[in-house]
Amino acid sequence: MDLDPVGLKILQNQLVNICQEMAMAMMRTAYSPIFSESLDFCTILFDRQGEMIAMADMNPAMLGSAALSGRWIIEELGADSFEPGDVVVDNDPYRGMCHMPEHLLLAPFFYEGELAGFVGNVGHVGEIGGKAPGSFAADATEIYQEGLRLPPVKLMRGGDYVQDIWKIMLANHRTPDTTWGDFNAMVGSLTIGQRRLQELFADHGPQFMNEAVPALYDYAESWLRSEIQELPDGEWDASDVIEDDGVVDTAYTIKVRVVVDGDGAIIDFTGTDAQAKGPINAPYTVTFAAACNGFFQLFKEFPLNAGTYRPLKVIAPPGTVVNVTHPAPCVAGQTEIQPRIIDLVQGACLGQVIPDRVAAAGGGTCSNFLIGGTHPDTGRYYTHYHFDGMGWGGRYANDGNSACNAPHSNCPNTPIEVFETRFPFRHLQYRLRPDSGGAGRQRGGLGIVREFEVLADELSVSALYERMKEEPWGIVGGGPGARTELLIRQAGSSEFRPFGEVFDTTSPSKFTNVTIRRGDRVMIKTAGGGGYGPPQERLPEKLANDIEEGWVTPEGARQDYGIVQ
């Protein structure tokens, strides 16, 4: 094949194709619903230095791992320490990863006896021990409380299980059967990647591959540069807060300056608050992924490899909530700081200059709700990482979407009928939340309301939410979206009250291991998106449709739009 616009494009497609095959194998064989239903993973090919050649992009949150982690692990271990059949695992945020539930598996690929690259995948493992079932300890103060930390170590050696590592893992995770199944699925997916790379190298020859891969990086880089070139040059500042950290009732400000200069951009977080005591901290990988994602949201389609990131420079001072230093906890950076940064970059900064290409703030939290207990029917211990959709911000041309993942995530929900078949709960409602969308010429999307009753004697829940104090903001004159609410009606009581009040937690949105009992009812109301443009400019027929469909109540129409029905 030739190094021309034809041969390179064919190779580009073939490489992504391999990642997709790896992803499919993983989805179909994994145990956790978080893999198989929610697709919280990605699959990646790396070159010999650990630069990303291609990825199957299932979940954008893992971009950071893909872009940086492979490189750092290979640097730490040395490329010559890999033998055929080896698989290295790493979940350490202080060694390249994003937060501990996400594990990177990395295996070398040899062609004709020479190290020719690596295949990898990143998966969110549902339970990894630590102080809270589901491993989202919202009140952790050190990383040691967040679960079992694995620095880059060999999980497989020469094709054999490294039994010592597996034994440690299985002994420290609360649901070892699931761990066993998920890790086998991940290892299986690597094997498929190696097999296909073998064919690809045989087809094209190693020399072509060595020359073509850097050319593909250049290709992605020039694509991104041409997009950035079309943006107006300038500097824009914005800031937003993380409400509290689960340990101390204090807010943390994230400051960002976006600089677009020609065909490159800088995203600078200088001035951001010092890192939190609680887990609401992001390692650099997370901040990097989120900052890039804020730009990517404008571009829709582009090739994804090491070259994609070259035009973007991300500055995040160490010791802040956007570049945490050891041994602070950091499980929530990936879920809560990511969406905040994306909206800061695209909506708050770039929205100042290209308001027609951005969105108002979305609900801005992954709505993490963790459940652990013994199932009364089976006697088995189970954990479940539950999350919900929320409203997206309004856009220049359209209302915000209702009930969607935060933009850095793309995980399908767990259906009611799957949820209740697996876990001891019964839902009373699961619906869109009227009036939760920020008012505007284009309304913000709606959050959801989920209410369920506990059918087991007792179980333990943990929560990690945001936007319970601060509303998701509107832009161009749009109103804010509704705040998150997390309520409980205890058995025997007749009213719903905030969790934080009932259980006297430090934070209303972040707590760990609260015991709830049979007959208790939980109600989760997720945040709505901010509105776009002044509410009084909303077309009367759009508002009439909102009222007819029930997305805006007559009362809401009166309050938010000044309309009397």
Partner 1 sequence: MIVGIDTGGTFTDLVAFDEVSGERRIVKVSSTPGAPAAAVGAALDELGAAEQVSRLVVGTTIVINAVLQRKGADAVFLTTAGFEDVAHIQRINRPTLYDLQWNKGEPLAKRANTVGVVERIDARGQVVQPLETAELERVLDQVAKVVEGMSNPAIAVCLLFSFRNSAHEARLAEALEARFPTIPVSISSRICPVWREYERSSTTIADAYVRPIIADFVRDLQQVQARIHPDSPVSLMKSNGGQIPLRTATSHSAQLLLSGLAGGLLAGKYYADVLERPSLITLDMGGTSADVGVIRQKQISFRDSYDIEWAIPIVGSFVDMTTIGAGGSSIASFDRGGLLRVGPDSAGADPGPAAYGFGGTEATVTDANVVLGRLDPDYFLGGKMQLDATRSAEAVAVIAERLGNSLEEAALAIVRMANENMANAIRLVTVDRGLDYREFDLLAFGGAGSLHAADVAATLGMRRVVVPLHPGLASAFGLIAATPRVDRSRTCSFDSETGLGGELSAEFVRLVHEVERDLAEDGYDDEVEILRSVNMRYLGQNYEQEIAVPDGPIDDSTIPELVIRFHSSHQSTYGYSMPDNPCELAQLNVVALGSGQRPSLPALPASDRAHGPRAERPVFFEGHDWLDSEIYLRQDLAPGSELRGPAVIAELDSTTLVHPNQTLSIDEHGLLHLEVVGVTRQQPAETT
Distance CA 308, CA 312 (A): 8
- Choice between 182 and 245, CB closer to partner 1: 182
**Contact 373/382 with Cβ under 8 angstroms?**
yes
Using the rule CB under 8 A, is 357 a contact of partner 1? Answer: yes
Q: Which of residues 49, 210, 398, 565 is near partner 1 by CB under 8 A?
A: 398
**Contact 445/528 with Cβ under 8 angstroms?**
yes
Strands 252-261 and 264-268: antiparallel
Q: Which of residues 49, 210, 226, 536 is near partner 1 by CB under 8 A?
A: 226
Q: Which of residues 261-300 bind partner 1 (CB under 8 A)?
A: 293, 296-297, 299-300
Residue 471: partners with Cβ closer than 8 Å, 6 or more residues away: 438, 480, 481, 482, 483, 527, 530
- Choice between 504 and 548, CB closer to partner 1: 548
- Choice between 222 and 490, CB closer to partner 1: 222
- Choice between 37 and 237, CB closer to partner 1: 37
- Choice between 76 and 420, CB closer to partner 1: 420
- Choice between 85 and 271, CB closer to partner 1: 85
Q: Which of residues 79, 302, 317, 497 is near partner 1 by CB under 8 A?
A: 302
Q: Which residue is listed with tokens 């992009």?
A: 57
Largest Cα span, the chain: 77
Task: Please give the order of strands across the beta sheet that includes 368-374.
Answer: 381-386, 368-374, 458-464, 510-517
Stretch of residues binding partner 1 (CB under 8 A), selected from 85-93, 414-422, 461-469, 530-538 = 414-422
Looking at this protein, which amino acid is placed at residue 154?
A: K
**Got the DSSP string for 439-503?**
PSSBPPPP-EEEEEEE-SSEEEEEEE---SSSPPPPBTTPPPPPPPEEEEE-TT--S-EEHHHHT
Q: Which of residues 241, 416, 456, 544 is near partner 1 by CB under 8 A?
A: 416
- Choice between 110 and 430, CB closer to partner 1: 430
- Our CA dihedral for 60, 65, 68, 71, rounded to 10 degrees, sits at -140
Q: Which of residues 431-470 bind partner 1 (CB under 8 A)?
A: 431-432, 448, 451
Q: Which of residues 93, 364, 407, 530 is near partner 1 by CB under 8 A?
A: 407
| Distance in Å, CB of 528 to partner 1, minimum | 14
Using the rule CB under 8 A, is 548 a contact of partner 1? Answer: yes
**Contact 530/472 with Cβ under 8 angstroms?**
yes
Q: Which of residues 364-393 bind partner 1 (CB under 8 A)?
A: 388-389, 392-393
Q: Which of residues 478-507 bind partner 1 (CB under 8 A)?
A: none
| Distance in Å, CB of 100 to partner 1, minimum | 21
Q: Which of residues 111, 172, 184, 315 is near partner 1 by CB under 8 A?
A: 184
Using the rule CB under 8 A, is 395 a contact of partner 1? Answer: yes
Closest to 316 (Cα-Cα) out of 288, 275, 293: 288
Strands 312-315 and 264-268: parallel
Q: Which of residues 48, 427, 469, 518 is near partner 1 by CB under 8 A?
A: 427
| Distance in Å, CB of 16 to partner 1, minimum | 9
Distance CA 472, CA 306 (A): 33
- Choice between 30 and 563, CB closer to partner 1: 30
Residue 36: partners with Cβ closer than 8 Å, 6 or more residues away: 27, 28, 30
| Distance in Å, CB of 397 to partner 1, minimum | 7
Q: Which of residues 23-82 bind partner 1 (CB under 8 A)?
A: 24-25, 27-33, 36-37, 39, 57, 60
Q: Which of residues 428, 539, 555, 565 is near partner 1 by CB under 8 A?
A: 428
Structure tokens at 440: 């505007």
Q: Which of residues 148-177 bind partner 1 (CB under 8 A)?
A: 177
**Contact 54/304 with Cβ under 8 angstroms?**
yes
Q: Which of residues 72, 214, 227, 502 is near partner 1 by CB under 8 A?
A: 227
| Distance in Å, CB of 431 to partner 1, minimum | 4
Q: Which of residues 201-220 bind partner 1 (CB under 8 A)?
A: 205, 219-220
What is the end-to-end Cα distance of the chain in Å, rounded? 68
Q: What is the phi-psi region of residue 82: left when phi exceeds 0, alpha when psi lies from -120 to 50, beta otherwise?
A: beta
Neighbours of 559 (CB within 10 A): 14
| Distance in Å, CB of 77 to partner 1, minimum | 25
Q: Which of residues 112-141 bind partner 1 (CB under 8 A)?
A: none
